[in-house]
Amino acid sequence: MAMKIYNGYEIVVLVAIVFLGSFMENSATTTGTNTTDMSTAILISVDQSGNADFKKIQDAIDAVPSKNSELYFIRIKPGTYREKLQVPVDKPFITLSGTLASNTIITWGDTGEINQSATLSVFASDFVARYLTIQNTFGTTGRAVALRVEGDRAAFYSCNILSYQDTLLDDTGRHYYNNCYIEGATDFICGNAASLFEKCHLHSLSTVGGAITAQHRNSSSEDTGYTFLNCKITGIGTALLGRPWGPYSRVVFALTYMSSVVVPQGWDDWGDPSKQSTVYYGEYRCYGPGADRTKRVGWSKSLSNQEATPFLTKDIIGGQGWLRPLPTHFKRGSTNVTVNVP
């Protein structure tokens, strides 16, 4: 931990060694043409008590200038923030960061159309969230998205994403989820993004046969799909690995622990046998009682080493070119505040 005092504000950056490695191994500028300084961010603080720049997270997001080219780091002090948030498309390079997901909670309880119910909607590119709980508390009787991601190049580290139906609308763009806990019952990771989930914990609340994924790839030419690498699946009842929202749905589980919550058939065609010949559902060297493939549907794949290789690195989302490290310098206006990262 490094601490500096500036104009009465306490600037604290907590860096857990276990998570720092995952940030630093992905150090890169976001694009070859972008000149944004990835080591320095403008700091904005949020605290419900009023001892910060803003009391509300949305007010802090709104304060970021349109079409900004600098990193903005919005530091959220512990608390439960009852807000329905949007990060607009014209505000890239924003980070929302708590200290721990367990004590920094963004919550709402909406339902209705899948595109309207999200607690947090991210439309901007180059977005990062760290150490947050994002939840929709509507309940079990309708669509209730916790997190909707439509911006390109979005990354989530050590976040809890919680709801029941359609928890994570991982809709469009390239996304990375690291060490996140994602909970739901029905199609609780859905959409048509190209996303890598690494070291994530997926927990099914389904009592009978709910689906973990509903990937929405619509044609063989779309370079989208979900990859789950070194993840863990648990639950309270039984669950499918996935079913096809789109006819060319693509999902791969690799090196993932599957508890007995995963039903023996593994996958479902959602009542449309024609999709069996167009979907791409693969498993590679998964383990645990739910990973037994002897009773899997015949149209899912047990991937060979060669077939699995493209799904085993961040290259599947082009991540080496845009995942960025934690900033090491912070500033307010023109004044720099140096933070020493171990």
Q: State the Cα angle at 190 between 248 and 180, rounded to 5°.
A: 125
In a domain, 141, yes or no: yes
State pLDDT tens for residues 261-308.
999 999 999 999 999 999 999 999 999 999 999 999 999 999 999 999
Q: State the Cα angle at 203 between 293 and 286, rounded to 5°.
A: 30
**Domain co-membership, 125 together with 239:** no
State pLDDT tens for residues 121-162.
999 999 999 999 999 999 999 999 999 999 999 999 999 999
In a domain, 269, yes or no: yes
In a domain, 177, yes or no: no
Catalytically active residues, by annotation:
166, 187
> What pLDDT is stored for residue 10 in this prediction?
38
CATH number of the domain that 264 lies in? 2.160.20.10
Structural domain tally of the chain?
2
Percent of the chain with pLDDT over 70: 87
Q: What residue numbers bound the domain in which 201 lies?
A: 185-324
| pTM recorded for the entire structure | 0.89
- CA–CA dist 286, 173 (Å, integer): 27
**Domain co-membership, 309 together with 216:** yes
Average pLDDT over residues 65-88: 97
**Domain co-membership, 27 together with 148:** yes
- pLDDT, the chain, mean: 90
**Domain co-membership, 230 together with 293:** yes
In a domain, 263, yes or no: yes
In a domain, 329, yes or no: no
**Domain co-membership, 224 together with 152:** no
Task: Give residues with Cβ within 8 angstroms of 3, minimum separation 6.
Answer: 10, 11, 12
**Domain co-membership, 9 together with 154:** yes
Task: Give residues with Cβ within 8 angstroms of 325, minimum separation 6.
Answer: 23, 24, 26, 27, 38, 39
| pLDDT exceeds 50 at position 1 | no
> What pLDDT is stored for residue 35 in this prediction?
66
CA 334 to chain CA centroid, Å, is 32
**Domain co-membership, 149 together with 199:** no
**Domain co-membership, 37 together with 164:** yes
State pLDDT tens for residues 97-127.
999 999 999 999 999 999 999 999 999 999 9
> What pLDDT is stored for residue 209 in this prediction?
86
**Domain co-membership, 231 together with 280:** yes
